């Protein structure tokens, strides 16, 4: 038997989509699978204890979605909690422990070493987990398990990441309590593809999912949407890095939804890059049920867009807002403030520009999480060689360690960068402002961190009262009610 444990307990609750797919695949491959979901347990350690009292699986798989909350200044790190869970499980069963999930795949070797788990699966979990169970029961040829990391003679060995393409997944979506996640989390996820072929300097997605686009058959995606709908779930979030890359696939998915009249029954949200996006795609998305788009805007300053290696320009941002408005799609522009080269002037230019193009809302978080193996890592290491740590923000002591939450905020923004951004926003309620760090905070500062979806009680309450949708859209609607 394969036991899969969801370790993510963040509030509002987001269903462990990857674990649902891994479990679905394993069941289809003839394995017996059980899921222990710690998300809704008051006492996770007790739940683990009671679970293993009368079970002895062949393999225990821990799904690890968020290594940290990627949010400055909270900088919450979840790897120590994962280590505790591995130790708890080890004390209760002899079964080997494997870790997988996107949080794991960003730091595969480091997490295996830190937690003491037996195995890790770097990349897609479906076929790899089933292959690991087979090898554990048979010849233990670990070289044959895609993406596997394991220990041999006190060293960690690893296979190439598991990024098979094209992607075909189980559409049943019945291994976790998706309806409960919908009721407590406001929406449920599904994927139309994996991987990202962009090379934005800061992003971890290509590390975890690969840089080749691996597409799913649109009819399989629509089948999955129908499975969720039959469970009473009618608000979805597409979990692709960028839904419109490639644009042809996005249109094909929309066509399939339209042909099956899903656009009348399901409402959905997605992340998109501002380019390619045109009137045809906007219309197709609206007809297919899309009611909200979160664009990776990053900046409203051309120089910063080039630094981040974005392919869009300011014009693209302006046109996305216009097209969304014409098609009655709510539009959010997500910014990334404080990157290399950011100055008070570039921030002012961005904020002014966003005010002018007038999206429904804009996320203005400050600080770039620096991931190892990204271009940001080399930029930062060059800067450090030239002296000074002024742009690095972190909450831990000792040497800089990118495994732990480490952020970049351009030193040119001074000692009180969040205050500077807030002043420029000037109370404009379309913006989700950056949270103030400890040095900037005064007793009068309100719930500024509410754009962080980690322990977001405002959202949790709204969802309990019936709100559904992407979190930015729920927060935006709450703000509208205030006015």
Q: Which residues bind ligand B12 (CB under 6 A)?
A: 4, 8, 10, 14, 17-19, 21-22, 61-63, 65-71, 98, 100-103, 105-106, 121, 124-126, 129, 187-189, 191, 203-205, 209, 237, 239, 241, 452-454, 471
Q: How far apart are CA 432 and CA 427, in angstroms?
A: 10
Minimum distance, C-beta of residue 37 to ligand B12, in the bound complex (Å): 12
Q: How far apart are CA 171 and CA 113, in angstroms?
A: 34
Instruction: Please identify, using beta-carbon distances, which residue of 88 and 390 lies nearer to ligand B12.
Output: 88
Instruction: Please identify, using beta-carbon distances, which residue of 201 and 318 lies nearer to ligand B12.
Output: 201
Give the CB-side neighbour count of residue 340, counting CA atoms within 13 A: 19
Minimum distance, C-beta of residue 24 to ligand B12, in the bound complex (Å): 10
Minimum distance, C-beta of residue 170 to ligand B12, in the bound complex (Å): 10
By the 8 A CB rule, do 188 and 15 touch?
A: yes
The phi, psi pair for 3, rounded to 5°, reads: -105, 125
By the 8 A CB rule, do 367 and 393 touch?
A: yes
In the sheet where 392-394 sits, what is the strand order? 368-369, 406-408, 392-394
Say how many C-beta atoms besides its own lie within 10 A of residue 17's C-beta. Answer: 22
Residue/partner pairs of 416-420 with CB below 8 Å, 24 or more apart: 416/440, 417/338, 417/366, 418/366, 420/344, 420/347
Instruction: Say which residue the tokens 């230019």 belong to.
Output: 349
Minimum distance, C-beta of residue 426 to ligand B12, in the bound complex (Å): 25
Instruction: Say which residue the tokens 């009249």 belong to.
Output: 261
Instruction: Please identify, using beta-carbon distances, which residue of 162 and 351 lies nearer to ligand B12.
Output: 162
Q: How far is CA 316 from CA 274, 299, 334, 357, in A?
A: 6, 12, 14, 11
Instruction: Please identify, using beta-carbon distances, which residue of 135 and 454 lies nearer to ligand B12.
Output: 454
Minimum distance, C-beta of residue 345 to ligand B12, in the bound complex (Å): 27
By the 8 A CB rule, do 221 and 254 touch?
A: no
Minimum distance, C-beta of residue 12 to ligand B12, in the bound complex (Å): 6
By the 8 A CB rule, do 237 and 209 touch?
A: no
Minimum distance, C-beta of residue 227 to ligand B12, in the bound complex (Å): 15
Instruction: Please identify, using beta-carbon distances, which residue of 206 and 318 lies nearer to ligand B12.
Output: 206
Minimum distance, C-beta of residue 430 to ligand B12, in the bound complex (Å): 19
Q: How far apart are CA 234 and CA 228, in angstroms?
A: 7
Instruction: Please identify, using beta-carbon distances, which residue of 198 and 430 lies nearer to ligand B12.
Output: 198
Instruction: Please identify, using beta-carbon distances, which residue of 12 and 218 lies nearer to ligand B12.
Output: 12
Q: How far apart are CA 458 and CA 247, in angstroms?
A: 35
Instruction: Please identify, using beta-carbon distances, which residue of 64 and 257 lies nearer to ligand B12.
Output: 64
């Amino acid at each position: 038997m394969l036991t899969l444990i969801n370790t993510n307990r963040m509030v509002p609750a987001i269903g462990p989509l990857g674990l649902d797919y891994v479990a679905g695949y394993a069941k289809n491959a003839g394995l017996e699978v059980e899921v222990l979901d710690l998300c809704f347990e008051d006492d996770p350690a007790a739940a683990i204890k009671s679970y293993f009292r009368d079970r002895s699986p062949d393999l225990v798989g821990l799904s690890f979605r968020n290594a940290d909350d990627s949010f400055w200044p909270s900088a919450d790190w979840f790897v120590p909690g994962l280590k505790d869970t591995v130790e708890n499980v080890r004390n209760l069963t002899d079964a080997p422990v494997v870790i997988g999930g996107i949080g794991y795949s960003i730091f595969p070797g480091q997490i295996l070493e830190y937690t003491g788990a037996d195995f890790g699966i770097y990349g897609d979990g479906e076929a790899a987990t089933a292959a690991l169970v087979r090898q554990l029961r048979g010849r233990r040829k670990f070289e044959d398990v895609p993406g596997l990391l394991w220990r041999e003679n006190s060293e960690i060995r690893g296979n190439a990441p598991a990024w098979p393409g094209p992607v075909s997944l189980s559409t049943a979506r019945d291994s976790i309590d998706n309806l409960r996640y919908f009721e407590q989390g406001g929406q449920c996820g599904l994927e139309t593809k994996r991987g990202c072929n962009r090379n934005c300097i800061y992003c971890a997605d290509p590390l975890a999912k690969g840089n080749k686009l691996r597409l799913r058959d649109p009819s399989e995606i629509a089948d999955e949407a129908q499975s969720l709908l039959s469970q009473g779930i009618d608000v979805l979030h597409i979990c692709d890095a960028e839904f419109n890359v490639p644009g042809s696939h996005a249109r094909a998915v929309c066509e399939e939804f339209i042909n099956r009249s899903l656009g009348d029954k399901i409402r959905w949200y997605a992340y998109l890059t501002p380019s390619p996006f045109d009137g045809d795609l906007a219309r197709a998305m609206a007809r297919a049920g899309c009611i909200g788009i979160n664009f990776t805007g990053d900046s409203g300053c051309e120089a910063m867009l080039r630094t981040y290696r974005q392919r869009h320009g300011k014009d693209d941002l302006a046109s996305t807002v216009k097209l969304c408005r014409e098609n009655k799609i709510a539009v959010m522009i997500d910014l990334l403030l404080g990157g290399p080269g950011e100055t008070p002037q570039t921030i002012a230019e961005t904020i002014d520009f966003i005010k002018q193009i007038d999206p429904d809302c804009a996320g203005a978080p400050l600080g770039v999480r620096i991931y190892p193996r990204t271009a940001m890592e080399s930029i930062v290491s060059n800067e450090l060689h030239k002296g000074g740590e002024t742009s690095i923000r972190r909450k831990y002591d000792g040497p800089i360690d990118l495994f732990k939450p480490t952020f970049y905020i351009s030193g040119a923004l001074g000692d009180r960068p969040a205050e500077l951004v807030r002043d420029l926003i000037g109370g404009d309620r379309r913006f989700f402002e950056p949270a103030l760090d400890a040095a900037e905070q005064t007793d009068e500062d309100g719930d500024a961190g509410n754009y962080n979806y980690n322990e977001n009680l405002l959202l949790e309450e709204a969802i309990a009262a019936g709100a559904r949708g992407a979190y930015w859209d729920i927060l935006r609607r709450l703000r509208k009610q205030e006015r």
